[in-house]
Chain A
C-alpha cells in the first residue's frame, strides 16, 4: 500500500508507533533516522490535507441511465430553484 493510499487513521497510528519507537531509545541511530524521515513524510501528508482547501460539496443526481452521478452543489442555485 503506498503512503498516499493510506487513510488518515493509518497515518496517525504510524506516527504514534514512530514516536514510541524513537522514544524507547532501542533503535540504532540509522534506524532512528529512517523512522524519523518516514514520520516527517506522514506529518507533511496530514498537514497538507488539514490545512488545504475545503472539499467541494456535491449533489447526487440520477444520471438518466439508472445510476447516479455527483455534480457540484450550489447552495444559492438551490435556493433559487
Chain B
C-alpha cells in the first residue's frame, strides 16, 4: 500500500486542528521577551524560560484590557490557545488573558547584578571622567561590519575632519561577545586614545545583552580613558550606559557628543582674527596719534618758547643774584658808617682848626722848605680859607 502523501498545506491544516483541539485554552508561565507593539496595537512577543521560547501574540483588544504594562523581562502567566500560523510554519500562543507573575529569574539576576555594581560605586557620578573638548584619537570598540560604525565615522568626520578614528573590531552579540567587548576596551585603553566609544546599533534586548554583562561593565570602569557607551536602544538603559562616563542613545549620537563642531570653531577663530586685527589697528592708530601729538608739541612747533623759558630762568637767576648782592651791600654800608666816624676824627680840617696850616705847591703838600725856590707860588690852606703867596 502506498504511503499517504500530504501536501504542505494539508499537513499544516491537520496539525493546526490537532494543536488547537488539544490546547484550546492553556495557561503558560514565562518571561516576556522581544516585545514589539505594532501600530495596530497588537503585541508580538515571546515567552521564554531558561531552555525554550514560545511565540506569542496578544491582539490589540486584549492588550487594552491589560491591568499592567506589558514589558520586556516581565514574568507573566498567559492564557490562550496554541495555533499554527501556516504561511510561516510556526506555532504560537494567541493570548486572551495575561497577568504578571513576578519578575522573571533572568530579570531578577540582572537587577541583582545591577544593584551590586551600583553599591560598588560603578555608576557613581563622581567617578565619571570629563570628555576631552578636542579629542585627537578616538577608538571605536564595535563591529567593523555594521552600519553603525559607518554612521559613526561619517558623523565624526563631518563635525571634526582631523579626528583620528581607530576601529577596534569586536563581536557585539552571541557567545563570547561580552568577553570580546571587554578585551577590546582594555586594548583601546592601552592604545593612546583620548576617548573610547563602545557600542552597536539597535537590536532586541537579547541582541544587546552583551552590553549588560558584568565583564563589560568592569572593563569600562577600569578604563583610564573616558568611555562613551552607545548601545542603540532608545528605551532600555544598559549596564554599560550606566558605567560609562557618558551615555549616547545611538552610535551617531555618540559621534556628535564626542566631537566639537568644526564650523563653530572656525567661526570662533574668525572672530578672534577680526578682534586681533581691530585691536592692532587701534594700537597702530594710537601710536600714530601719539606721534602726531609729539610733532605738534611746543618743542617742534615753537622752539622760541624754549628759548624764552630759558631766558626767564636766566632772569630769575639774575634777580637772585641782585638780591644777594644788595644784601651784602647793606651789610657793608653799616661798616662804612663806622669807618666814616673814625675818618672824621682823623680829618685834617680838625688839625687845621687848631691853628695848623697846609702848604701846597702845584697841588702837592710841601713839607720841607728846601723843596721851594724863590719865585714859587704856594698855596696855604687854613682852617677857613686859603692864601696864595710868592716865596722870596
Contacts and interface: CB of A to CB of B under 8 A. Distances in A.
Dominant secondary structure at the B interface:
helix
A47 B153 CA distance: 22
B167 A57 contact: yes
Nearest to A7: B134
B276 A18 contact: yes
Contact of B164 (A12, A55, A75): A55
Given A29-B283, A32-B279, A57-B165, 14 more contacts: A12-B265, A19-B272, A19-B276, A22-B283, A36-B280, A39-B272, A46-B269, A50-B262, A50-B265, A55-B162, A58-B165, A59-B168, A68-B191, A78-B145
Dominant secondary structure at the A interface:
helix
A55 B157 contact: yes
Interface in A16-35: 16, 18-19, 22-23, 25, 27, 29, 32-33
Contacts of B187: 60, 68
Contact of A22 (B162, B266, B279): B279
B182 interface: no
B167 A60 contact: yes
Contacts of A60: 139, 166-169, 187-188, 191
B62 interface: no
B133 interface: yes
Contacts of B283: 22, 25, 27, 29, 32
B139 A19 contact: no
A5 interface: no
B150 interface: yes
A43 B166 contact: no
Interface of B: 133-134, 136, 139, 144-145, 149-150, 153, 157, 161-169, 187-188, 191, 262, 265-266, 268-269, 272-273, 275-276, 279-280, 282-284, 286-287
Nearest to B276: A39
27 contacts: A8-B136, A9-B133, A12-B268, A15-B276, A19-B275, A23-B279, A27-B283, A29-B284, A29-B287, A36-B279, A39-B272, A43-B269, A46-B265, A47-B266, A50-B266, A54-B157, A55-B165, A58-B165, A58-B167, A59-B144, A59-B167, A60-B166, A60-B168, A60-B169, A68-B191, A75-B150, A81-B145
Contact of B153 (A12, A32, A57): A57
A33 B136 CA distance: 32
Contacts of A19: 272, 275-276, 279
Contact of B167 (A7, A27, A73): A73
A33 B280 contact: yes
B286 A25 contact: yes
A53 interface: yes
Contacts of A51: 266
Contacts of A49: 162
A27 B284 CA distance: 11
Contacts of B139: 60
A46 B162 CA distance: 11
Nearest to B149: A75
Contacts of A39: 272-273, 276
Nearest to A80: B145
